[in-house]
């Protein structure tokens, strides 16, 4: 999908509606998000860092657009995307820092654009990122290290992170962020990383045990500089049930 890109030739694009995608991943130490570096469209100069996003076509619905845009810019496909919300500040695409890029690829760079944001959780080790279209590069970046993004993408990222934090308290999370087998310590680290706070070990394990979503495996870590921990995995049936029904509270 490594083709030339120019919005001015895509007459079917709606100049006023876009979609943006927030793709989270966890590497056992940090919560990460997929970002792209945008090109000018007519040269090799790299523009600002942004979330994968673009205008929609008039003949596609929002979900279709989000799936298409994500695949076109990052190579990721068949990704379950959950809608975060709409962002419609009249000045959201009028930042002076973004002017040059907008003028290089859009027929109406001054047009007001309302965007619909989506988010997803993906296992980083299974994701093969491939930059294409106007994305000159695509990469994972630590969420904590991101201080600035194009347009209002920093606000979209923060809103998506808040949605993920809220999800932790009412639905099981981890099946798309962790490998098939993991330790309780790694699961706790995932929660701590997303919530950006330390969690009491006993309290965390007591609550996890109460959810009954883990199966203990007869296998331990090897080659670690500490006492090896048993691996666990998610109980698929119980995980699916709690994902559908939710539970009262898993807050800390």
Which helix H or strand E contains 104, and what residues bound it? helix 99-105
**pLDDT value for 96:** 79
CB count, 10 Å around CB of 196? 11
Rounded distance between C-alpha atoms, residue 152 and residue 35, angstroms: 14
Supply the DSSP string of 109-170, one letter for each residue: TTS--EEEEEEEE--GGG------TTEEEEEEEEGGG----STTHHHHHHHHHHHHHHHHHH
The predicted pLDDT at position 12 comes to 86
> Per-residue pLDDT for 6 more than 90?
no
Could you read off the pLDDT of 75-85 as tens digits, one per residue? 999 999 999 99
Choose which CATH entry (3.40.50.360, 3.40.50.150, 3.90.79.10, 3.40.640.10) describes domain 7-169. Answer: 3.90.79.10
Query: Would the pLDDT of 49 be above 50?
Result: yes
Query: Is residue 169 over pLDDT 60?
Result: yes
Whether 171-245 and 7-169 are alike in CATH topology: the answer is no
Q: Supply the pLDDT for residue 45.
A: 59
* Lowest model confidence (mean pLDDT) among 48-62, 107-121, 143-157: 107-121
Res 52: pLDDT? 97
Higher pLDDT: 144 or 223? It is 144
Where exactly are the structural domains of the chain? 7-169, 171-245
How do 13-26 and 214-220 pair as beta strands?
unpaired
d(CA 241, CA 6): 45
Query: What percent of the chain clears pLDDT 70, i.e. is strictly above it?
Result: 92
Per-residue pLDDT, 4: 40
In this prediction, residue 1 has a pLDDT band, given cuts at 50, 70 and 90, of very low
Which tens digits make up the pLDDT trace of 176-203? 999 999 999 999 999 999 999 999 999 9
pLDDT, residue 39, reads 62
Longest dimension (CA), the chain: 62
- Angle subtended by helix axes 184-195 and 153-170, to nearest 10: 130
Name the packing angle between helices 201-211 and 184-195 (round to 10°). Answer: 110
Instruction: Identify the band that residue 101 occupies on the pLDDT scale cut at 50, 70 and 90.
Output: confident
Q: Which residues of 148-170 are buried (b: 16+ CB within 10 A; e: fewer)?
A: ebbbbbeebbebbbebbeebbee
Residues 6+ apart with CB under 8 A from 104: 40, 41, 42
Topology of the domain covering 171-245: Arc Repressor Mutant, subunit A (1.10.10)
5, 13 Cβ separation under 8 angstroms = no
């Amino acid at each position: 999908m490594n083709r030339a890109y120019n919005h001015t030739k895509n007459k079917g694009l709606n100049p006023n509606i876009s979609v943006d995608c927030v793709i989270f991943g966890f590497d056992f130490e940090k919560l990460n998000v997929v970002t792209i570096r945008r090109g000018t469209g007519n040269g090799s100069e790299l523009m600002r860092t942004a979330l994968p996003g673009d205008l929609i076509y008039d003949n596609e619905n929002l979900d279709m657009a989000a799936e298409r845009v994500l695949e076109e810019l990052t190579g990721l496909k068949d990704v379950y995307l959950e809608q975060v919300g709409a962002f419609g500040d009249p000045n959201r695409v009028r930042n002076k820092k973004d002017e040059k890029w907008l003028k290089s690829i859009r027929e109406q760079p001054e047009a007001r654009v309302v965007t619909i944001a989506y988010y997803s959780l993906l296992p980083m080790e299974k994701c093969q990122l491939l930059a294409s279209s106007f994305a000159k590069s695509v990469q994972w970046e630590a969420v904590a290290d991101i201080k600035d993004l194009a347009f209002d993408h920093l606000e979209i990222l923060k809103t998506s992170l808040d949605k993920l934090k809220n999800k932790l308290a009412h639905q099981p999370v981890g099946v798309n962020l962790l490998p098939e087998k993991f330790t309780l310590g790694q699961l706790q680290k995932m929660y701590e990383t997303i919530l950006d706070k330390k969690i009491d070990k006993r309290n965390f394990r007591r609550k996890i045990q109460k959810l009954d979503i883990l199966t203990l495996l007869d296998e331990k870590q090897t080659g670690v500089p500490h006492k090896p921990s048993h691996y666990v995995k998610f109980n698929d049936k119980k995980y699916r049930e709690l994902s559908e029904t939710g539970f009262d509270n898993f807050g800390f």
